[in-house]
Structure 1
Amino acid sequence: MPSFKSHLVSFILRHSRKKAFASPENLQRWIAYARKTEDHHPPALLRERLDITERSVDGFPVYEIAPKAGERRRILYMHGGAYVFQITSYHWGLIAEMAERLDFGITVPIYPIAPEHDFHAMFGMVGDVYRQMLDETDAEDIVFMGDSAGGNMAVVLTMMAAEEGLPLPSRHVLISPGLDMSLSNPEVFEAERNDPWLGISGGLEASLSNPEVFEAERNDPWLGISGGLEAIRMYSAGIDRSDWHISPLYGDLSVLPKTLLLTGSHDLLSPDNLIFAKKARAAGVDVQVVYEEGMFHVWPLIEMPEARRARDSIVAFLEGEPTKRRATARRTARPALAARPAQAAE
């Protein structure tokens, strides 16, 4: 049974963030406001607890949370935010706990976001960060972790690295990842009814004219697909939404490493997450799924009993020895990691 705290969080979401993703215009207004208030720096309390350094890659900040002496394993953490919002204190709280409990080094790129930047800038920067990590650390000691849009980025970055012949990370931790931006799964609309964050706006397409969809939209407290599509439009650089660079569900899943996928029954993205797990397993990938009844989008970031269970699952998954990749996963010459979309939309 969901905790009282989770019900409270759902109530707050349901009565506060409704307008942000209700329309493209609303999203643009929220982005404009966010640019006046966002601060990517780690909170001061974290700096007191952890050894944090900052450097620059392609002109953007990258934070390094140092591990225990002698520890080689590292996490590349890619934050969520619909590709248009900056890292938050909730992300930093999760990152700090993982650093303290695992003693891994954690690399946190403050990657370029839309609408000021697009897909090519985002993956150009995080690709350079990953190549630099490979110069210092064996791929078998690297984990990709990301939430929501960051989970999408983790999968796409691995697929792009495979395409370029780079060594691949040993594991993925994906928290409520966005894996199918084509919005073609009819189960999404059924899941939307129960999601306390995400909703479907009537501005999507004429084919989504079912009045039940609009009723579900009225009941949703935060993100709408209309605003979400605007975020995708702003970052995708004209790439079709069904292209694997945008929707990695349609890419070569066989290249992915052992994966922990966390999703909840009240998360709009959950149906696609479960399809991803099924397809990845069919492609030979070891996928473990944490499916939490009653939980909403990226719930492990929010302090509550269900999040503590989720974080325990992440620690247990990563504390074991990483599965050894093939011999070519050792450091070799690094070909360029280019952001090359397969096809642009008309």
Structure 2
Amino acid sequence: MPSLKSHVVSFVLRYSRKKAFSSPENLQRWIAYARKTENHRPPASLRSRLEITTRTINGFPVYEIAPKAGERRRILYLHGGAYVFEITPYHWRLIADMADRLGFGITVPIYPIAPEHDFHAMFGMVGAVYRQMFGETRANDIIFMGDSAGGNMAVVLTMMAAQDGLPLPSRHVLISPGLDVSLANPEMYEAERNDPWLGIAGGREAIRLYSAGIDPTDWRISPVYGDLSVLPKTLLLTGSRDLLTPDNLIFAEKARAAGVDIEVVHEQGMFHVWPLIDMPEARRARDSIVTFLTNETGSYHAKAGELSLQREDRDGTPRDLVAPLRS
């Protein structure tokens, strides 16, 4: 059963943030307001306990959280925000929690966002970040993690790297990713009614502002239509009250059919990017992420409340041991 706090958060979202996605005009108004208040810098409380440095790539800042001594692994974290909103303190708190619990280095690009910039500028910047990362770190030690739009970007960036013959990351962690923006799935319209946050009209406007005129069914915009076989071992977290979940489950099926080692956390009663919020369900989700990124030897099964997490073979049969797609 969803926690009391999750019900409170859902109520607040429905009567506040969902308005941003109720129409193109509302989204534009929320963007204009956000530009007056957004601040991409890590909160002071994080700076006081983590070693954080800043550099610039393509004119945009990149924050680096130093790993613990002797740790080689690094996470490239791509934040969400419908391609039009900046990183938030909620993202930073999740990032800090991962840094504390895993000890990995974490790279956080503050990539250009729409409508001031578009797809080409975004991937020009994050592509340059990744090239610099694998020049410093073995690709085997690099993990892509992203929420919402950032989850989309993680998948597309891997596909672009494969197309260019570049080294690929070892794992993906995708939190409520937006993997198909074509709106071809009729289940999305029913899901919208149950979603306390996202709306189709505002989401369509965000994609228009971001996509530089590229067709929504192009894999660069909707990676569910791309070559999923190039993807690494993947953990996908999605909630039953998220507009994006029907397409996320289709993506998982297609990825598994393409030979990808993919695990799905489908949390009942949860809304978009719930692992960013401090509540019991988020803590379970974060535990799943930590287990996934520190479990090197085989599959696992875990259940907590109504959460289920398992690795399955291509035919859907749970297995105790599944060889990784790539080490």
The two structures have a TM-score, normalised by structure 2, of: 0.90
Matches within 5 A, 1:1-346: 1-198=1-198, 224-321=199-296, 325=326
Q: Determine the C-alpha separation between the residues in 2 that align with 1:325 and 1:317.
A: 15
> Could you tell me how far apart the structure 1 residues matched to 2:55 and 2:120 are?
21
- Cα distance in 2 for residues equivalent to 1:238 and 1:84: 16
Letter in 2 for 1:280: A
Unmatched 5+ stretches in structure 2: 298-323
Q: Note the alpha carbon deviations across 1:178-226, whole angstroms, 9 max, x for none.
A: 000001001112222221112xxxxxxxxxxxxxxxxxxxxxxxxx211
Aligned residues: 301
Q: Which has the higher contact order (CA 8 A, sep 6+)?
A: 1
How far, CA to CA, are the matches of 1:229 and 1:191 in structure 2?
A: 15
List, as ranges, runs of 4+ consecutive aligned residues in structure 1 with deviation greater than 2 Å: 320-326
Question: Any stretches of 5+ residues in structure 1 without a counterpart?
Answer: 199-223, 327-346
The secondary structure found in structure 1 opposite 2:17 is coil
Aligned counterparts of 1:252 and 1:35: Cα–Cα separation in 2 = 36
AA in 2 matched with 1:96:
A
Kept in 2: contact 1:119–1:237 (CA 8 A): yes
Give identity over the alignment, percent.
82
**1:113 match: secondary structure:** coil
Provide Cα deviations, 1:303-325, integer angstroms capped at 9, x if missing partner: 00000000000000001239583
**2:269 is paired with a residue of what secondary structure?**
coil
Q: 1:14 Cα shift?
A: 1.4
Q: Report the TM-score, using the length of structure 1 for normalisation.
A: 0.86
Q: How far apart are residue 17 of structure 1 and its match?
A: 2.1
- CA distance in structure 1 between the partners assigned to 2:176 and 2:109 by the alignment: 19
Taking the aligned partners of 1:244 and 1:59, their CA distance within structure 2 comes to 27
In structure 1, what is the Cα distance between the partners aligned to 2:170 and 2:278?
A: 28
Deviations 1:109-142 (A, max 9, x none): 0000000000000000000000000111000100
Sort the Cα spacing of 1:242 and 1:324 in 2 relative to 1 into closer, same or farther, 3 A.
Answer: closer
Contact 1:170 1:324 in 2 (8 A): no
* Alignment RMSD (CA, Å): 1.1
